[in-house]
Amino acid sequence: MSKITAAITAVGGFVPDYVLSNLELEKMVDTTNDWIISRTGIKERRILKGEGLGTSDLAAPAVLDLCKKRGIDPSEIELIICATTTPDFVFPATANIICDKIGAKNAFSYDVQAACSGFIFSLVTGSKFIESGQYKKVVVVGADKMSSIVDYSDRATCVIFGDGAGAVLLEPNSDGLGIRDSILRSDGSGRIHLHQKAGGSVKPPTHKSIDAKEHYVYQEGQQVFKFAVLKMADVSAEIMEKNNLKGEDIAWLVPHQANKRIIDATAKRMNVGEDKVMLNIEKYGNTTNGTIPLCLWDYESRLNKGDNLIIAAFGGGFTWGSIWLKWAY
């Protein structure tokens, strides 16, 4: 009997309407359009506006989009894994709320927190439920409302992040299509360079912590940049070597979109041409767990059955990893 693999059979996405351009940021903090474009590659990002709206309001429409495209009812989904760093609440899990909002009455659901690597960690986790043979329809959604934890008076972080969500459906495949291999890593000693100082159990929220702006993203940009370039390129090269893949075998590199310069360094190391690199950083910025599925959403019409994709991510923790998959449709 041939081995069951987990194939992506549909992609959905959602970005909010509000466009926060570099030109608008120029009026908010001491920055310039030229600086942002040359140092990050970002021109604009989307922001979810509106009282009482959270990450589940980005994720739910992304999952519904996927259901519509695949022609399934949400009640057919058996499991929803939500990768997010900006959950609606500390508890319950945002995935539980998504299920309720879309009517996924027969699914169990939970969140995965691995900062910007959350989507790839979740994709690998979800694939194991399919490979076991026990489940046939697993949704992995990456969603973040980064604007809820970004300080819009800090020019070093507010220019980078945006809001958005992307989702994929995993189903069993017996032709060797889908997820073929993965390498996932984490090193918690890197947490000092990228974290949120308060709001968790170590430092529950107080008036003092809020006044000190400790509920926002704290990032040592240069340190994170150095690790990201090294680790994302290393792990992408490693998965290719492990599977005897050369640059010319790769149809698409799907990198986490944190900084265009990090993406360029990864592609160079893999010997993959610029025309084979999925990019959406220019229009969405870093949507954290949204970047990779939103890339697949944007480029879906250019993908062909059997294409070799390398997905690579790096994030806070530190966390990082790569996936080799064969596109299934």
Ligand X SMILES: CC(C)(COP(=O)(O)OP(=O)(O)OC[C@H]1O[C@@H](n2cnc3c(N)ncnc32)[C@H](O)[C@@H]1OP(=O)(O)O)[C@@H](O)C(=O)NCCC(=O)NCCS
- Note if 195 is an active site residue: no
Q: Is 159 in the site for ligand X (CB under 6 A)?
A: yes
**DSSP code of residue 210:** H
CB of 204 to ligand X, least distance (A): 25
Instruction: Give the integer Cα–Cα distance in Å for 248 and 245.
Output: 8
Window 264 to 303, contacts with ligand X (CB under 6 A): 286
Name the token pair of 151. Answer: 């300080």
| CA-closest candidate to residue 288, choices 139, 85, 94 | 85
Active-site position among 173, 256, 280, 295: 256
- Note if 286 is an active site residue: yes
Q: Is 173 in the site for ligand X (CB under 6 A)?
A: no
CB of 32 to ligand X, least distance (A): 6
Which span sits near ligand X by CB under 6 A: 93-101, 127-135, 255-263, 303-311?
255-263
CB-based contact 178:326 (threshold 8 Å):
yes
- Note if 116 is an active site residue: yes
Q: Which of 15, 66, 224, 270 binds ligand X (CB under 6 A)?
A: 224
- For the chain, where are the alpha helices, taking DSSP H only? 22-28, 33-40, 56-70, 94-102, 118-131, 155-158, 207-211, 221-242, 260-270, 281-284, 291-299
Active-site position among 82, 286, 289, 295: 286
Active-site position among 67, 116, 158, 295: 116
Q: Which of 26, 33, 39, 300 binds ligand X (CB under 6 A)?
A: 39
CB-based contact 313:295 (threshold 8 Å):
no
In the bound state with ligand X, the residue whose beta carbon lies nearer, of 138 and 310, is 310
Q: Is 83 in the site for ligand X (CB under 6 A)?
A: no
In the bound state with ligand X, the residue whose beta carbon lies nearer, of 100 and 220, is 220
Distance, CA of 280 to chain centre: 12
CB-based contact 278:294 (threshold 8 Å):
no
The SS3 of residue 325 is strand
Q: Which of 84, 147, 259, 289 binds ligand X (CB under 6 A)?
A: 259
End-to-end CA distance of the chain: 22
Q: Is 31 in the site for ligand X (CB under 6 A)?
A: yes
Q: Is 195 in the site for ligand X (CB under 6 A)?
A: no
Rg (CA), the chain: 19
Q: Which of 119, 135, 218, 225 binds ligand X (CB under 6 A)?
A: 225
Q: Is 156 in the site for ligand X (CB under 6 A)?
A: yes
Instruction: Give the integer Cα–Cα distance in Å for 214 and 56.
Output: 24
Q: Is 43 in the site for ligand X (CB under 6 A)?
A: no
Q: Which of 201, 222, 301, 304 binds ligand X (CB under 6 A)?
A: 222
Residues in the chain: 329
Q: Give the total of residues touching ligand X (CB under 6 A).
A: 20
* b/e map 74-92, b = 16+ CB within 10 Å: beebbbbbbbbbbbbeeee
CB of 233 to ligand X, least distance (A): 13
Window 105 to 144, contacts with ligand X (CB under 6 A): 116
Is residue 207 classed exposed, middle or buried when 0-12, 13-18 and 19+ CB atoms within 10 A define those classes?
A: exposed
Q: Is 258 in the site for ligand X (CB under 6 A)?
A: yes
CB of 225 to ligand X, least distance (A): 4
Asked whether the bond before 121 is cis by omega within 30 degrees of 0, the reply is no
Window 85 to 104, contacts with ligand X (CB under 6 A): none
Using CB under 6 A, list all residues that contact ligand X.
31, 35-36, 39-40, 116, 155-156, 159, 221-222, 224-225, 228, 258-259, 262, 286, 314-315
Residues annotated catalytic, as ranges: 116, 256, 286
